[in-house]
């Protein structure tokens, strides 16, 4: 049985950084599921059609990491048919041996409800805005407004809203360095591995 790690949380909380570090550490595959929604938003046209016909090329399009692509992703992600079209791909990825890490908003609640480890990564709004502004070379105030708008939409939608699974471990990265955050995540994973035997 593959080992599955689900990492959810709001934008710029540090979940992507943690997911990449865990993938390198344990030799697991990593799927940034936000990229799927970003690719659907960036295709334009009918988002349901785009989600059903997503290709590897779509995931390599330039500009997918921009703040605008994040907003477009958040909007198409509220459409139930878009989400439904992406479920199977994500679950197939999660079944990869020896293990897989998926990060997003609904991994622990909807995509992999039986994941071996579920982390819900958070950080305060200002810290997240500062991180995203530094990463994109953008204005901090603008990033703050965009993150809040996106989080509000992602949390309020009817289908698979952003929320922690009942059995998720919350990891607040506000006051942590990257190394400290990764160490805390590694400890949670090692504990679950030991429990599984």
Binder of ligand DC out of 13, 74, 109, 173 (CB under 6 A) = 74
50 versus 77: smaller Cβ distance to ligand DC: 77
Distance CA 77, CA 79 (A): 5
Residue list 129-168, contact with ligand DC (CB under 6 A): 150, 154
Residue 70 engages ligand DC in binding (rule: CB under 6 A): yes
Binder of ligand DC out of 6, 7, 42, 73 (CB under 6 A) = 73
* Distance set, CA 50 to CA 42, 81, 161 (Å): 9, 11, 21
Residue 118 engages ligand DC in binding (rule: CB under 6 A): no
CB of 127 to ligand DC, least distance (A): 16
Binder of ligand DC out of 33, 109, 146, 173 (CB under 6 A) = 33
Residue 34 engages ligand DC in binding (rule: CB under 6 A): yes
* Distance set, CA 120 to CA 56, 84, 170 (Å): 28, 22, 5
96: left (phi over 0), alpha (psi -120 to 50) or beta: beta
Going along 15-167, which residue ranges are E strands? 29-32, 99-104, 117-122
Q: Residue-wise over 118-135: b if at least 16 C-beta within 10 A, else e?
A: bbbbbbeeebbbbbbbee
Q: Which region among 31-39, 114-122, 137-145, 185-193 touches ligand DC (by CB under 6 A)?
A: 31-39
| 189: CB partners within 8 A, 6+ apart | 5, 22, 26, 117
Residue 43 engages ligand DC in binding (rule: CB under 6 A): no
Binder of ligand DC out of 93, 104, 122, 147 (CB under 6 A) = 104
13 versus 99: smaller Cβ distance to ligand DC: 13
Question: Taking Cα atoms as reference points, which of 50, 27, 26 lies closest to residue 39?
Answer: 50
Residues that bind ligand DC (CB under 6 A): 11, 33-34, 37-38, 70, 73-74, 77, 104-106, 150, 154
């Amino acid at each position: 049985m593959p080992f599955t790690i689900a990492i959810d949380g709001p934008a710029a909380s540090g979940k992507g950084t943690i997911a990449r570090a865990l993938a390198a550490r344990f030799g697991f595959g990593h799927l940034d599921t936000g990229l799927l929604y970003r690719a659907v938003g960036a295709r334009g046209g009918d988002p349901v059609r785009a989600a059903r016909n997503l290709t590897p090329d779509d995931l390599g399009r330039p500009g997918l990491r921009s703040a605008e692509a994040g907003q477009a992703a958040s909007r198409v992600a509220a459409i139930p048919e878009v989400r439904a079209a992406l479920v199977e791909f994500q679950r197939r990825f999660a079944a990869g041996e020896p293990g897989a890490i998926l990060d997003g908003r609904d991994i622990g609640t909807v995509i992999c409800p039986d994941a071996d480890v579920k982390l819900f990564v958070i950080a305060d709004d200002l810290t997240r805005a500062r991180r995203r502004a530094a990463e994109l070379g953008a204005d901090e105030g603008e990033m703050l407004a965009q993150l809040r708008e996106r989080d509000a939409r992602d949390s309020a939608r009817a289908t698979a809203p952003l929320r922690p699974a009942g059995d998720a471990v919350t990891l607040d990265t506000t006051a942590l360095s990257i190394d400290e955050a990764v160490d805390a995540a590694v400890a949670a994973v090692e504990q679950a591995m030991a429990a599984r035997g």
